[in-house]
Homo-oligomer: A and B are copies of this chain.
Amino acid sequence: MTERIYTACVLIIGNEILSGRTEDVNLNHIALEVGKQGVRVREARVIPDVEDVIVDAVNAARANFDYVFTTGGIGPTHDDITADCVAKAFGVPLVINEEIARRIRARPTAPEVMESRMRMARIPAGATLIDNITGGPQGFKKGNVYVMAGIPSVMRAMLSTVRLQGGALVRSRSVTAYLGESEVATGLTAIQNRYPNIDLGSYPFMREDRYGTTLVMRGTDPAQLEAMLAEVKQLIVNAGETPHDVE
């Protein structure tokens, strides 16, 4: 029996991440949150506010992954072109969504400002809304593409309302050793080969001038995870070290 794996791609849209001005924090949150629903992020792309690039990225991602999550580019200014690009990717027109428009009109303002805000009511034909529990304009879902804000607090508010069909939950166990990776590399290869369904990663670090590595096991079968963790801990002991921070 092969278990169905549900995959996702995250598209982070915004020049400011690529220029180094802003550090992205949305990928990490999305990965953790969709993971809790049994969906695995398999790729992320950071792309600029350029129409052709966004359209191509949306089309590639929606064909290759079960879910696509975009962040950024759905505000009221000239550089907010995500909705336009998603519509173009799907070959449908943009339409005014009355539910978003009502929410925007509920906050009176000057006509010129209102006109800019109403840009946020435009969604691709056939899209449905992703609620925005902060009270601002909603995001939307078209096909398997979930379009969300770039501001982290607003993105999180939107994602918290999204329910996905996912597969078995990926669980993880981990253990840290203050050893060079090479000191356990051969043993890790042998253990990985014995547990083909569990992904064993070795993540080296330097902390207060000490090298170490965190060994992370990820998979869906709790019993296999426990057995593998026991083997990895024993490997660390055999290398003369103590297993730390078992989680």
Contact = CB atoms under 8 A, between A and B. Distances in A.
A113 B151 contact: no
Contact of A42 (B18, B40, B112, B172): B18
6 contacts: A16-B216, A42-B48, A43-B48, A49-B201, A75-B202, A116-B183
Contacts of A30: 20
Given A79-B202, A116-B181, 12 more contacts: A15-B201, A18-B41, A19-B41, A20-B35, A24-B27, A75-B181, A76-B181, A109-B183, A113-B182, A116-B185, A117-B182, A151-B205
A192 to B, nearest CB: 6
Indicate the member of A21, A32, A192 with the most B CB atoms within 10 Å.
A21
A104 to B, nearest CB: 9
The A interface is mostly helix, strand or loop, or mixed, namely: mixed
Interface residues of A, number: 70
B43 A43 contact: no
A182 B151 contact: no
Q: Which 9 A-B pairs have the closest CB atoms?
A: A20-B31, A116-B185, A20-B32, A44-B46, A76-B182, A116-B182, A77-B202, A117-B182, A78-B189
A192 B80 CA distance: 13
A226 interface: no
Interface in A92-148: 109, 112-117, 119
Contacts of A182: 75-77, 109, 113-114, 116-117
A221 interface: no
A116 B186 contact: yes
A227 interface: no
A153 interface: yes
Interface in A14-57: 14-25, 27-32, 35, 40-49, 53
A188 interface: yes
A200 B79 contact: yes
A216 to B, nearest CB: 6
A138 B107 CA distance: 58
A17 B44 CA distance: 9
Nearest to A30: B20
A150 B205 CA distance: 9
A243 interface: no
A154 interface: yes
B21 A23 contact: no
